[in-house]
Structure 1
Amino acid sequence: MKVLVIRFSSIGDIVLTTPVLRCLKEQLAHAEVHYLTKLTFSPILMHNPHIDKLWYLHSDLAPVIEELKKEKFDCIIDLHHNLRTMQVKRALKVKKCYSFPKLNIQKWLLTNLKIDLMPDKSIVDRYMETVKPLRVANDGKGLDHFLPPQKQLGNKDIPMSHWGGYVGCVIGGSMNTKKLPVDKWKEFCRLSPYPIMLLGGPEDMYEGGKIAEMDPVKIYNSCGKFNLSESAELVKMARVVVSNDTGLMHIAAAYKKPIISLWGNTSPEMGMFPYYGHNNLKERIAPELTIMENKALRCHPCSKIGYDKCPKGHFKCMNELDMTQVADRVRSSWNATAKKLVF
């Protein structure tokens, strides 16, 4: 069976689709799995052994659609379910098309009326429901992320102060209201006794510099210095990860890292929490995971994707997170992590 899986963005969402790819490949006889995404996200998938061929969306869908028509797919698994994916499905005229239920009404009720009708399950489990008609089931192995075969980083890339281990702090985020403020990161860094690696893209370099300047030996600002695969390798080598709701958080979950997950004006109840293959938020809580969320705040959550700035102006969802509690959880996870890093 030749299957086309579609998910255009973003880093975290694509990592969360990887159990579907693995289960399709391992549970369907002679499955040939293709994946359509944006070229920007190719580093996340290009080394995945469960994908037979990657297809890329550029600015215009028409050229890739013409190429996809030649493949004669037996089935399309739409894990994005938007206007562009509808255009692809309509053009390819494949009889078996299964689309991911986005639960937009439930999300609206949660963010606007604070009525929580979201299922207590990861978005991964909802992705897996899309392939049930093919008799494919979740294998419980969690997320996948595959690095290039050759090791990219060595001790020359990481300060000697961090060779014995470090806390990976993912400071970036797609929207400002999903990012812990610089002053809160500084507070955490003062409370944590361990070396700290700041992780993020070039857009996070300035804020990383402001955090690192308080102690340049203890705190290493890697933001903008490494590509996505190298940053993922830094996540893999971390003893414990403290992260905003962003792509590297899900890559950390793929490597089964202890995670302290920080939530601003969005909510893990929407299903985008770190997933280890077995955990929900209420009934099956992962011991590796700590959720930091200001649930007592009446205006929280106020968005499913985030804003450039807090609509209320106070940003209490992040500003009132307890950094002492975060530091205590890091200390507990660090002590439980017996394996030392080897560079």
Structure 2
Amino acid sequence: MGDIVLTTPVIRALYQQLNAKIDFLTKSQHVTLLSNNTYINKIFSLENDVNTLQYNKYDYVVDLQNNLRSWKIRAKMNTKSFVFNKKSFKRYLLIYFGIDLLKNHVVDRYFETIAKLNVINDNKGLDFNVSSSIKLDFDSNQTYITWCLGGTHHPKKLSGDQITQVVSKLKVPVVLIGGDNDLEIAEHVLYNTKSKLVYNFCGKLSIQESSYLIKKSKMLLTNDTGMMHIGSALKMPIISFWGCTKPSLGFSPYKTDSSSIQIISKKSASPCSKHGKHCKFGKNGCIKEIDPQEIYRAILCLLK
């Protein structure tokens, strides 16, 4: 999900600077992420539409995925292509030897892909449009905090105990969002805080509804996950948590509110793995080493 949102500055730049007509290909479950993007002409899904693309007369293909599947699609289309350089060797050096040669954010690397088209980054950040028709059984006009519990892999997630220790001290409402896989953590927090100020929406909301709660809140607390990038697009103050993955991989909140804070596990300066699936220091992930008191202090700083 996050990878899709991170492509939006490129979409906007191609549209505005080249007056380009842009079609976008992605997985069917990600189509809604771009459904309100006014810079896109048409969205195609990998599952249903990929075989029809070769019959469209495109001038260029921009491949920001660069994997075996995207290579096969490009081969079928036989159109001049610009392909993202993943810089896999530099990433390998960072993860296994702590040598950081990546330096820049993945969005800036995306723009390197289309440099020959003379398209430049306008530095306006990510795009994500929240529907104005969202209605939820929650008073979103009050001051509250949104806490996203999600993460692609368990080692990327804060524990229920860490979150409970923070939430128990707060005097403002906290909304918990995430998927079905985050219900166990959410229920742990609810049971152990016994606070009437904690609201559990995990597994109950669409991406649009979750984004609405983020947009209306005072701040977003989040692991390294797709909702973090939606929060960036909405220019939210973000407190992000990092363990097995690190901002040095190039996927930190991009051009979000300047008050945002990154809380990084001190266990290691370098990432443990590419996507946070594996941790060098134990199966639970070094993100569990983050002190809840540090999180609490960061929240108080942004609440001022």
Which bin holds the TM-score, normalised by the shorter protein?
A: over 0.9
**Alpha-carbon distance change, 111 to 236 in structure 1, aligned in 2, over 3 angstroms:** same
Secondary structure at the counterpart of residue 220 of structure 2: strand
**Partner residue, 1:75:** 60
The letter for the 2-side match of 1:260 is: I
**Partner residue, 1:170:** 148
**Partner residue, 1:110:** 94
- Residues 157-189 of structure 1: CA deviation (Å, up to 9, x unaligned): 11x5x6412111110100011101111111111
Secondary structure at the counterpart of residue 204 of structure 2: coil
**Alpha-carbon distance change, 216 to 191 in structure 1, aligned in 2, over 3 angstroms:** closer
- TM-score (normalised: structure 2): 0.94
**Partner residue, 1:12:** 2
1:130 to 2:113 alignment: yes
1:100 to 2:68 alignment: no
Offset of residue 300 of structure 1? 4.5
Offset of residue 224 of structure 1? 0.9
Secondary structure at the counterpart of residue 22 of structure 2: strand
List alignment gaps of at least 5 residues for structure 2.
Answer: none
Secondary structure at the counterpart of residue 222 of structure 2: strand
The letter for the 2-side match of 1:20 is: V
Offset of residue 310 of structure 1? 4.0
**Partner residue, 1:208:** 186
1:249 to 2:219 alignment: no
Offset of residue 288 of structure 1? 2.4
Of the candidates 247, 266, 274, which is equivalent to residue 268 of structure 1?
Answer: 247
**Alpha-carbon distance change, 184 to 144 in structure 1, aligned in 2, over 3 angstroms:** same
**Partner residue, 1:317:** 286
- TM-score (normalised: structure 1): 0.84
**Alpha-carbon distance change, 316 to 87 in structure 1, aligned in 2, over 3 angstroms:** closer
The letter for the 1-side match of 2:302 is: S
Of the candidates 291, 303, 306, which is equivalent to residue 262 of structure 2?
Answer: 291
- Residues 68-121 of structure 1: CA deviation (Å, up to 9, x unaligned): 112111001100000011001111000x211111111111111112222221x2
List alignment gaps of at least 5 residues for structure 1.
Answer: 1-10, 278-285, 336-343
Whether the 8 Å CA contact 2:272–2:279 is kept in 1: the answer is no
**Alpha-carbon distance change, 238 to 74 in structure 1, aligned in 2, over 3 angstroms:** same
Secondary structure at the counterpart of residue 175 of structure 2: strand
Secondary structure at the counterpart of residue 191 of structure 1: coil
Secondary structure at the counterpart of residue 168 of structure 2: helix
Would you say how many aligned residue pairs link Structure 1 and Structure 2?
Answer: 303
Whether the 8 Å CA contact 1:266–1:302 is kept in 2: the answer is yes
Task: Give, in whole Å, the separation in 1 of the partners of 2:206 and 2:252.
Answer: 24
Task: Give, in whole Å, the separation in 1 of the partners of 2:50 and 2:284.
Answer: 43
Whether the 8 Å CA contact 1:300–1:317 is kept in 2: the answer is no
**Partner residue, 1:36:** 25
Q: Which portions of structure 1, spanning 4 or more consecutive aligned residues, are displaced by more than 6 angstroms? A: none
**Partner residue, 2:37:** 48
Whether the 8 Å CA contact 1:240–1:259 is kept in 2: the answer is yes
1:86 to 2:86 alignment: no
Whether the 8 Å CA contact 1:15–1:143 is kept in 2: the answer is yes
Offset of residue 322 of structure 1? 2.2
Written as runs of structure 1 = structure 2, the 5 A alignment for 1:193-232 is 193-213=171-191, 214-232=193-211
Whether the 8 Å CA contact 1:250–1:275 is kept in 2: the answer is yes
- Residues 258-296 of structure 1: CA deviation (Å, up to 9, x unaligned): 01110121111010000017xxxxxxxx732211112x4
